[in-house]
Chain A
Amino acid sequence: MSSPFRADPPSLPAGRGRGWVRLRKKRRSPFPSPSPRRGEGRERGFGVCDLSPAAEPPHPDPLPLGERGKGAGPSGTAVRRYGPIVALLLIPLLLAACHRETRDYKSDALKASDRGAAFEGNAFHIAQGQRLFGWMNCAGCHSHGGGGMGPPLMDDEWRYGGSMGEIAATILDGRPNGMPSFRSRITEDQAWQLAAFVRALSAQPRQDVLPSRGDEPRNTEPMTLDERKPIRPATPKQDDSSEE
């Protein structure tokens, strides 16, 4: 798994801890230590959040208290010298991140030349799709993506196509074997919003527009950490009674 939540705690080479590790050395960790003795049947820890003493390398010389504000050696002066410049350079980066929050209330995406990309590339539309997924009771058949009476939506298998256009058509006009038409139930842009969320269930949209948190409790990883699944046509069924 490539997820950072499953990874083992980072191990720093002994004696070369960074400043913040050194400063925290003497404090009590707020997290319980996953295993009392190092290297002995250690279970998986808290990953990147693990600051417990067991995860830290032993360090012989903690920084004296008086040195704290002065920075650790030459890097401190570098921060003072280049800090404002770096902060200034970071502003465009911050503003670029705001793009993720752009809201398209008037559904200009419906008029875009590439409608699918316009809806799928917008966090607002995906979030609205998630809302509609609950309101229109999609979970009644598809569960929260895992499938039930209807096929699962978070896997790599698509019976009627996995592109934005195909999913929107499936929602608006229905498909054989049970999918009802929603054309007179929701508006066209709502169908596209739903399609964007359905694709988000298998991590198809860009990672920065995916919702990090679902509206429903779920035991899967956050969508932002999910791996983008390939899109495959459904395999021909051997047994008609099987759920797939």
Chain B
Amino acid sequence: MSWLDTFQSAAGNDGQQSALVSELFAIFLAVTALFFVAVMIFLIWAILRRRRGEGESREPALRRLLVGWVGLISLTLAGLTLATWLYDRGLARAAATPALEIEVTANQWWWDVRYADDDANWIFRTANELHLPAGVPAHITLRSNDVIHSFWVPNLAGKQDMIPGREADISIRPLRRGVYRAQCAEFCGLQHARMALDVTVESPADFIAWRAAALKPAAAPVGGSAQAGQAIVTGRQCASCHSIAGTPASGQVAPDLTHFASRRTIAAGTLPMSRANIAAWIADPQAVKPGNNMPKVPLTPAELAAVTAYLETLK
């Protein structure tokens, strides 16, 4: 599957939350369609029965019909309000018993993802990817480090704004397995469009396997080029901002790179993961995604090849 094959649909039924909202939308669509048809019928009827010639004709039957019509509209609007309230309660109920705690922090322009747990052995960080087990309600705490962002997985749930200095949350219970594209839904600067998040919904068994792999520190590189690359990454500018578990690189202001090569994309959905793209990204990040906070680190071609070789081993 290519990285472009992923789809987005705000009318999807892939999560319990989006299914509820889709249902409510269907009710609204049906009711309003019925009324639209009724209004059109009345309009055509009125045009056909238009007054011919002079004289005034008052029809008490028409008056009764109008009063009934207004009553019908009021009752239907009250019914739709009640339905909205009931579905809103349903959304709240769906979020009542989370089995998974995740913290997502938005930055210009990437997502910092932290799987939280009471037991520190189960805590780990990743970036620009979110893995969720199907059928399990997950509670996601949302924060922002710089400007207002908005967390939106169209297929699974609605939007939730992330405001700096405040904490918001959203609950998601995905129903169907698949890879969904989430994105920032609030204009947050120059690269707002390139702020995507890969959401992978998998079976609980697959999720547990993925989590076990994500909890492991990065494997030591084998081979001269990759080892040289590790020395550069941990000894040079990279380590000031990025962290790689199991190495001295422990910067906290840029995406975690521990299992970088296992992700599907580079730079929050900007480039598909490939050797050429890793090299292109490091060679000049400002040419690929102008304005992002990754500087162009001066590297010789041999150093660039070594760093690329090392990053490729971070599966």
Contacts and interface: CB of A to CB of B under 8 A. Distances in A.
Interface string B18-41: 000000000000000000000000
A187 B253 contact: no
Contacts of A131: 293
Nearest to A136: B240
Nearest to A106: B286
A184 B240 CA distance: 9
Interface string B31-60: 000000000000000000000000000000
Contact of A187 (B235, B237, B290, B291): B237
Contacts of A190: 295
Contact of B295 (A103, A184, A187): A187
B237 A185 contact: yes
Interface string B233-258: 00111001100000000000100000
A132 to B, nearest CB: 9
B253 A135 contact: yes
Interface of B is mostly: loop
Contacts of A185: 237, 240
Interface string A95-117: 00000000101110000000000
Nearest to B296: A187
Contact of B291 (A105, A107, A136, A186): A105
Contacts of B295: 186-187, 189-190
A103 B241 CA distance: 22
Contacts of A188: 298
B208 interface: no
B297 interface: yes
A60 B298 CA distance: 72
A126 B241 CA distance: 19
Interface string B288-303: 0011010111100000
A105 B289 CA distance: 10
Contact of B241 (A107, A135, A184, A189): A135
Interface string B263-305: 0000000000000000000000010001101011110000000
Contacts of A105: 286, 290-291
Given A105-B286, A106-B286, A135-B253, A186 B293 contact: no
Interface of B: 235-237, 240-241, 253, 286, 290-291, 293, 295-298
Given A128-B293, A135-B241, A136-B240, 4 more contacts: A106-B286, A131-B293, A184-B235, A185-B237
